[in-house]
Amino acid sequence: MEALTAQSPPWPKGGSRVVIYSHDTFGLGHLRRSRAIANAIVEECPDTSVVIISGSPVIGNFEFGSGVDYIRIPGVTKLPDGDYRSLNLNVELDEAVGFREALILQAVKSFRPDVFIVDKEPTGFRGEVIPALEYLQRAGCRLVLGIRDVMDEPALLVPEWERKEARQALIRYYDEVWVYGLKDVYEPLAALNLPPEIEQRITYTGYLRREVPATPSLVRYPKITKQPFILVTTGGGGDGDDLIDWVISAYEADQSPEMPAVILFGPFVNRDQRRSFMERISRQPKLDAMSFDTKIEHLMEKATAIVAMGGYNTFCEILSFDKRALIVPRTRPRLEQHIRAVEAERLGLVSMLSDYTEARTPERMASALRNLSTQPRPSEVTVPGLLDGLDRVQERLKALTQPRAYMPASEAAE
């Protein structure tokens, strides 16, 4: 695929239309990535309209740029055993998926996008996006699969994609694949043995740079944030209990870290677990906590260092705000975070602490927190194109939205 040059034609006038599908069955990752891309698109071209289709129950808490709106489809949630159920509706999962599928198809038929970007899952949740792909392909819409830098270890990714028939869908439907990372860091689809013509459709964009929102956060920050502090964040918080417990235990140890810390729970933390954590935090003068901040970028910019599980969005923010960071990756049910942390530490961008091979003791965490103050910043490492992700996305959108015929709905339905 040829990169755009300085002589490339400008973004076409007339108001292009983009739909981003983000299934969001768990956490905030897909939604926050889709939001960053949507806002970057309308910032580059104000007459573009972007609709995000998402099942996230908290999508309404976020601000979007002018020209961006969203459709909230009924949510589903992941159970402890790995299965799923309808989040709010009292219906069987199959019926909920059928309802979501119908809403997605009707949305794209009505909005008639020029480009349809599917986040991570080529077939959507349980195949729900396939009818929309079929319709849009016939209608002449350009179809893009956007995936993060790391999906999972090959031993799990390959059988998962075969079970979902995702590889076949990628080959059949998608005009382009955007990997929101760098090939020199990781190749998330390398194990799938894709045909050469499909490999040529892949663009490694670099990571998606984040900016501090123009408007201030309405959340009241603890007094600790008026001095150098460590921000501890687990994203949505639904699977961050172990990290929070480990950090608190470090401050409960005899040789606790000198720098205080603020723990950001996230909207999906278990209420009973949060109450237990707050009881322990209240006894530590160097600790405080917050529930949730949709404009976490403000807090990250204020922080001296960051401790996180290393999900994709948090990693982008660590790079964007040039923060010293300790990554404590989760290893279940996926090794995605662990793989990213290993590669980032190899490049010297972060340090990593894992319970994958060593004991999870308070002393290990306390020592790692103390070492943060002397750790190099990401900017001290030169990685070409590291944060060019949004620029590359804007370039590819320009190429894909050049004037072209859009098939009438009556013909596309045939």
CB 146 within 8 A of CB 178: yes
Count Cα atoms within 13 angstroms, Cβ side, for 304.
19
- pLDDT given at position 398: 92
What is the tens place of the pLDDT at every residue in 103-125? 999 999 999 999 999 999 999 99
Does CATH place domain 17-204 in 3.90.1010.10? no
List per-residue pLDDT tens for the chain, 414 residues long.
333 333 434 444 468 999 999 976 655 678 889 999 999 999 999 999 999 999 988 888 888 999 999 999 999 887 766 688 998 999 999 999 999 999 999 999 999 999 999 999 999 999 999 999 999 999 999 999 999 999 999 999 999 999 999 999 999 999 999 999 999 999 999 999 999 999 999 999 999 999 998 888 888 899 999 999 999 998 776 678 899 999 999 999 988 899 999 999 977 788 889 999 999 999 999 999 998 888 889 999 999 999 999 999 999 999 999 999 999 998 877 899 999 999 999 999 999 998 766 788 999 999 999 999 999 999 999 999 999 999 999 999 999 987 654 555 556 665
The answer to whether the 17-204 and 223-380 domains have the same CATH topology is yes
Torsion angles phi and psi, residue 217, rounded to 5: -75, 145
Domain ranges of the chain: 17-204, 223-380
The Cα 48–Cα 41 span in angstroms is 7
Alpha-carbon Rg for the chain, nearest whole angstrom, is 22
The Cα 396–Cα 41 span in angstroms is 11
- Furthest-apart CA atoms within the chain: distance in Å: 73
- pLDDT given at position 293: 82
The Cα 396–Cα 5 span in angstroms is 11
The single-letter DSSP state of residue 126 is G
Strand 49-54 vs strand 68-72: parallel, antiparallel, or unpaired? parallel
Q: Which of 66, 112, 40 is nearest to 393 (CA)?
A: 40
Here the tokens at position 340 are 């990213």
> Coil, strand or helix: which one is 324?
strand
* DSSP state letters, 353-391: --TTTS---HHHHHHHHHHGGGSPPGGGS--TTTT-HHH
328, with CB counted inside 10 A (0-12, 13-18, 19+), is buried
CATH number of 223-380: 3.40.50.2000
- pLDDT given at position 117: 98
Q: What pTM value is reported for the model? A: 0.89
Strand-pair partners of 118 = 21, 145
Amino acid at 396: R
What is the tens place of the pLDDT at every residue in 152-190? 999 999 999 999 999 999 999 999 999 999 999 999 999
